Amino acid sequence: KQEVTQIPAALSVPEGENLVLNCSFTDSAIYNLQWFRQDPGKGLTSLLLIQSSQREQTSGRLNASLDKSSGRSTLYIAASQPGDSATYLCAVSDDYKLSFGAGTTVTVRA
Amino acid sequence: DTEVTQTPKHLVMGMTNKKSLKCEQHMGHRAMYWYKQKAKKPPELMFVYSYEKLSINESVPSRFSPECPNSSLLNLHLHALQPEDSALYLCASSQEWRPDGGGYTFGSGTRLTVV
């Protein structure tokens, strides 16, 4: 059974600092990995989708890397802003379901 | 249109009420999902519809009844719910129901409170 872990569970940084969020998974036979953002009480917003054949994906200030063999993905957010404060979830697709991590809650202090 | 639209955004219902949640997408996705999310927990899968047919029911109590009237619409009918059913209900869709079926698009959710 796939286990997805996100460390740290919470992170607080001053504005302008770069963010590094980690996601690890136990079974490397995945098809893709998706990073989501969730604001309190709201739905999930897809940030980046990395296919298993890809090493990284970029969108604006966001960059996500994937190392399938070691079961790891990292989400980098450059030059953080208070508006980046949210919970970030990673999810892997290795079967007919998504397996989610518990999320990292980020607070960016102005 | 790249969105999944859920209505209503908020719902308060009594334990004897019957209500429905609605989800709509116009991206041509053939897989649609219902998830339940409790506070500070990741989403948990409830149902999967593929090509308008129920493909997975994750042992969800019968007081939750899903329906997929067409390829764009997904409903969740609620009846005789319990207070512990209070949660954020999320709808999602993907191109196909398969592990490499593309990424998931989620709606903004319905915040359900059972009193």
Predicted pLDDT of residue B102: 82
The count of other CB atoms within 10 Å of the CB of residue B61 is: 11
Selected for mutation to probe chain B from A66, A95, A98, A99 (highest B CB count within 10 Å) is A98
pLDDT tens track for B34-75: 999 999 999 999 999 999 999 999 999 999 999 999 999 999
Q: pLDDT grade, residue A43 (50/70/90)?
A: very high
Partner-chain residue, chosen from B97, B100, B103, that has the shortest CB–CB distance to A34: B103
Whether B18 and A79 have beta carbons less than 8 Å apart is answered as no
Predicted pLDDT of residue B1: 74
User: Does pLDDT of A11 surpass 90?
Assistant: yes
Whether B78 and B20 have beta carbons less than 8 Å apart is answered as yes
Tell me the C-alpha distance between A36 and B6, whole Å: 18
Predicted pLDDT of residue A97: 87
Tell me the C-alpha distance between B111 and B19, whole Å: 13
pLDDT tens track for A23-34: 999 999 999 999
Chain B hits for A66, Cβ within 8 Å: none
State whether B42 and A93 contact (CB < 8 Å): no
Q: What is the 3-state secondary structure (H, E, C) of A26-83?
A: CCCCCCEEEEEEECCCCCEEEEEEEECCCCEEEECCEEEEEECCCCEEEEEECCCCHH
Selected for mutation to probe chain A from B23, B89, B106, B113 (highest A CB count within 10 Å) is B106
User: Does pLDDT of B89 surpass 90?
Assistant: yes
Predicted pLDDT of residue A92: 95
Structure-token match 């989400």, residue found:
A75
